[in-house]
Amino acid sequence: MKRLTLALLAAVGFTTAQANTIPVSYTIQGSCSVSSTPTVTFTPSASIPSAVSLSNSFSVTCSNNQAYSVTLDNGLNHNGTTRRMQNGASGNFITYEVFRNPGEASGNLPVDNTRNWTATGNGSAQSNNFIVQVPAQSVPGVGTYTDTLTVVVTL
C-alpha cells in the first residue's frame, strides 16, 4: 500500500509547466518646435528701383532621428502664390519673395509648398537660413507695408 501511495504522490508532484508572454512596449513620439523666428525689417526708402534683400534665419528643434520638412505659407496678404506686404492705411501692396539661399534668389526659386527645407532632427536647434527679397517695382504710396508668414513643420 505504501508503494501505491508513493507512486500516486509522485504523479501528482509532476505537472506540465504553462508559459505565456507579456508584451512590453514604449512609444517615443517625434516632436518639433520652432524658435528664434525673427522680425524682418527693411531699411526705409523712397523707391524700389532694384531688388532689395535681407538674410535671416529661424531654428527648428526636433527629436533625435526625426525626419521633418519646413515650409512657409504665402502670408496673410497673398494673391494666389504671390506674397505681398500691405499698407494697412491705404490698402496698397508691394510684392516680395522668400528664398533659401542667394543662389536660389538669383535663380528665382522661391520657397513655396514644393520648395522647402528637409532635415533630420538631432535633439538640438537647427538653423534654417532664408532671404526675403523685394523685387524692383513701382511704389504705390508711402507708408509701412507688412505681412506675416507662418512657419509650418511637418513630421
∠ CA 55-145-133, nearest 5°, is: 25
Cell numbers given for 5: 501511495
Pair 149, 98: CB distance under 8 Å: yes
Mean of the per-residue pLDDT values of the chain? 86
| Predicted confidence band of residue 8 (pLDDT cuts 50, 70, 90) | very low
The contacts of residue 68 (CB under 8 Å, 6+ apart) are 30, 32, 60, 62, 118, 119, 120, 121, 153, 154, 155
Type of residue numbered 102 = P
Which one is the CATH code of 32-39+50-154: 3.20.20.70, 3.50.50.60, 3.30.1130.10, 2.60.40.1090? 2.60.40.1090
**pTM: predicted TM-score of the whole model, two decimal places:** 0.78
- How, if at all, do strands 145-146 and 93-99 pair? unpaired
DSSP assignments along 7-60, one per residue = HHHHHHH------------------EEEE-PPP--PPP-S-BSS-EEEEEEEEE
Task: Dump pLDDT digits (tens) for 43-100.
Answer: 999 999 999 999 999 999 999 999 999 988 889 999 988 999 999 889 999 999 998 8
